[in-house]
Every structure is written in C-alpha cells, then in structure tokens.
Amino acid sequence: MIPITVVDVRDAEDLVLEVLRSGAIAQGKMVKRFEDAFAAISGTKHAVAVNNGTTALVASLQVLDLKPGDEVVTSPFTFVATLNAILEAGATVRFADISRDDFAIDPDRVAAAVTDRTKVLMPVHLYGQTADMGKLAPLAAEHGLHVVEDAAQAVGASFEGRRAGSYGLGCFSLYATKNITTAEGGVITCDDDTLADRLRVLRNQGMRARYQYEMAGHNYRMTDLHAAVGVPQLEKIDSLTAARQRNAKRLSEGLAGTPGLELPAVQPGREHVWHQYTVLVGPHAMLSRDELAAALTEKGIGNGIYYPKIVFDYECYRGHPLIPGASVEDFPVAASVAAQALSLPVHPALTDEQVDTVIATVREVLGA
C-alpha cells in the first residue's frame, strides 16, 4: 500500500522530551521559538501561533472588527473550515468561482462579487499553490478590502518571490496531514504590528497583563509540547518541500499524455509546495474519477478526493442567513473540478520506485 500521506515526526523526540521534562508544557518559550522560525519562513514580521488552522481564520476575522452584514469573498472550492470560520466570525459569505488553472478564486469573478458591504477578500491557496495574488492584491487594495489568506495548505509557497501569508493576515494549518505539522495547530502571519498585538491579546482571553482585559477574548493558545513537534520540521522545510517538488515533477513526466487526464500545472512566477498533487479526470478518460479512485485503492495506491462538492452544497448550509443567495449553478468551474479532481501521493516519504508504481498503475488502469 502506498498511502496518500505519511506523518513522520520522529525527529521531534528530543525536543518533545525536553519540554516534557521541563514541566513547562503550555504556551511558553517553545511556542516563541516556533513563531520566530515561522515568521522567518513566511518573510513576515510576525507569526502568532494558535491551536489550529480554523482558529487562525476565525481570529483573523475577529481582529478586523467586522460588523453584522459585512461580507467576506472567498472560494466555493475549499475545505469546509474556510466557510465555517467566516460563519463563526458572524460575517456574510460571498463566493466567487475558481479558475481551472490554479483551483483558486478567479480575479475576474472576485471583481463581480464585491459589493459595498465587502470588507475582506479571503483567497484559498489550494493544494500548495497560491492564488493569483498579482491580480488579487491590487483588486483588494482598489476596493479597500483586507486580505485574509487561507494558506492552510501553502506553507513555503510563493508568488513572484513573495511568500504565501505575507499579503495581509496569513492563516496556516499545522494539522497532522499538512506540509508542516504540530499534530493540531495553526499560525497567523502578518507585518502589521497592531493586528499582531491584537491577535496575541485575543488568543489569551483578551488579557494583556494578568487580569487586565482589553477585549472579550478566547483561549486560542498553542502548547509548547505541540510547538516542539513542529520546530525540527521548520528547520528542514526546504528539503521537505524539495522532495514534494521532485515527486510532483516525476509524476508529471510519467503521467504526461495519459488520455483524459489533466495534470496540475505550476503557474508562471509561482512556487508550488505540492500539499496535494491533483489531477482532473476528464470525460474522455477510460474511467470516471470515482472509478479511477476505486481502481487505485484496490491496487494499493492511496488517493483522495479534495473536495467532492462545492463547499456550501450540504443540507446544513441551505438557507443559512449568512450565506444568502448562494447557488451551485453560479459556480460551474468549481462544480466541474469537484467532479473530476483526484489527488495522488506526492508526500516527501515516497521513494522513486513508489512514485513510478503510482504512475504505472494510473496508466495501466486508464489504458495508456
């Protein structure tokens, strides 16, 4: 069996033991060490660690002081946490369809979705490649919007040399299967001193100094135990990313020309960190996406469907007062991608032989 992800955090043993033995296990100096390393990687002045990626998104919206009726424009093709975070923050959600090239929000569609109530643009850097920030950042500036990046899958990715998470408030996830993990965890990156300060206070019950409360806060803290799991990975992030990039390149070379298969492309000027390697199984392939997924599973090739439906296309969101007028028919690109997307193993633990087995098996079952 070749799994779709492998979690390997063995190199954190010493640091985790150090924290355990110290008795100082909650948020403390290991979290600070993690934050400093993360800020350096993101090219931002600040990195604020929190307890998960969803929290990172919620906290980012909370420090922007949105009022009821304020709108956030985001992608309809994303993990459900993007949507849930906006709802949790009490903002109204507007969606803009994605582009088939990068699976991220399409700048032309964003322009059409912006109203005078729009306060935030929340692009999702899906699968490890940034959205088209060259167009989205100026668009946000033109309309006076805050940028909150859902960079959960994109640690280390960049657009024309500028890192994901450096365009406003950058929200990262450190969940077990993400490129960098602390088991559960999240980070918010930014250059703005005031917002970073507010995030740190918000994270700790709104408390600046002991029992001095400045806002109604929450407990969003990360622990030193979790931070210790992540620190060694940050130290070797370049080699982890390089391994993913090497695997992706090998997959693309090996799968080129497979009938009916559309391979993922790195857009010019962008550095892709390959959280997922996602192909589109088109109508001319010998098998449907679901048939291909089943055939690969049967042959021991791990695979995943991220994501099978438009994010709001579930009973629990229908008629939601904060998702007014959202209709599946308005997002044809997201709908077709959701029906065709299939992710193949690309993680750093793969050997060349395993990558070749993935390629050979996909080609075989598609009759190539």
Ligand X SMILES: *Cc1c(COP(=O)(O)O)cnc(C)c1O
Binding track over 44-83 against ligand X, x by CB under 6 A? --------xxx-----------------------xx-xx-
Which of residues 173, 233, 278, 361 is near ligand X by CB under 6 A?
173
Give whichever of 79 and 167 is closer to ligand X, judged by the CB atom: 79
Taking residues 226 to 255 in sequence order and writing x for each that binds ligand X by CB under 6 A, - otherwise, the string is ------------------------------
Q: How many residues does the chain have?
A: 368
Among 97, 149, 150, 313, binds ligand X (CB under 6 A): 150
Q: Which one of residues 152, 190, 335, 362 is an interface residue with ligand X (CB under 6 A)?
A: 152
Of 287, 286, 285, 277, the closest CA to residue 250 belongs to 277
Q: How far is the CB of 154 from ligand X (least distance, A)?
A: 9
Binding segment (CB under 6 A) for ligand X, from list 2-10, 149-157, 188-196, 263-271: 149-157
Nearer CB in complex with ligand X: 64/85: 85
Q: In the bound complex, what is the minimum distance in angstroms from residue 247's beta carbon to ligand X?
A: 19
Q: 148 or 280, CB closer to ligand X?
A: 148
State the binding string over 98-137 for ligand X (x if CB under 6 A, else -).
--------------------------x-------------
42 lines the binding site for ligand X (CB under 6 A): no
Which segment (89-97, 147-155, 218-226, 358-366) binds ligand X by CB under 6 A?
Answer: 147-155
**Residue 312 interacts with ligand X (CB under 6 A): yes or no:** no
Instruction: Quote the least distance from Cβ 174 to ligand X, whole Å.
Output: 6
Burial of 178 (0-12, 13-18, 19+ CB in 10 A): buried
Size of the site for ligand X (CB under 6 A): 14
∠341-346-352 over CA atoms, to 5°? 135
CB of 338 to ligand X, least distance (A): 14
* Range in contact with ligand X (rule: CB under 6 A) among 33-41, 146-154, 197-205, 257-265: 146-154
Nearer to ligand X, 175 or 317 (CB): 175
Q: Is 186 in the site for ligand X (CB under 6 A)?
A: yes
Phi and psi, residue 259, nearest 5°:
-60, 130
190 vs 355, beta carbon nearer ligand X: 190
- From the list 103, 159, 175, 220, which residue makes contact with ligand X (rule: CB under 6 A)? 175
- The contacts of residue 99 (CB under 8 Å, 6+ apart) are 105, 106, 132, 333
Query: Hey, CA dihedral for 182, 162, 63, 214, is it positive or negative?
Result: positive
- Cβ-defined contacts of 113-118 (< 8 Å, 24+): 113/73, 114/73, 114/139, 114/143, 114/145, 115/71, 117/69, 117/70, 117/71, 117/92, 118/70, 118/71, 118/72, 118/73, 118/94, 118/143, 118/145
Residue least distant from ligand X (Cβ) = 53
Residue 314 phi, psi dihedral angles, 5° rounding: -135, 150
CB closer to ligand X, 106 vs 150: 150
Supply the minimum distance, in Å, between the C-beta of residue 343 and ligand X.
Answer: 12
153 near ligand X, rule: CB under 6 A: yes
Count Cβ atoms within 10 A of the Cβ of residue 367 and give its class: 0-12 exposed, 13-18 middle, 19 or more buried.
Answer: exposed
The residues of the shown chain that bind ligand X, judged by CB under 6 A, are 52-54, 78-79, 81-82, 124, 150, 152-153, 173, 175, 186
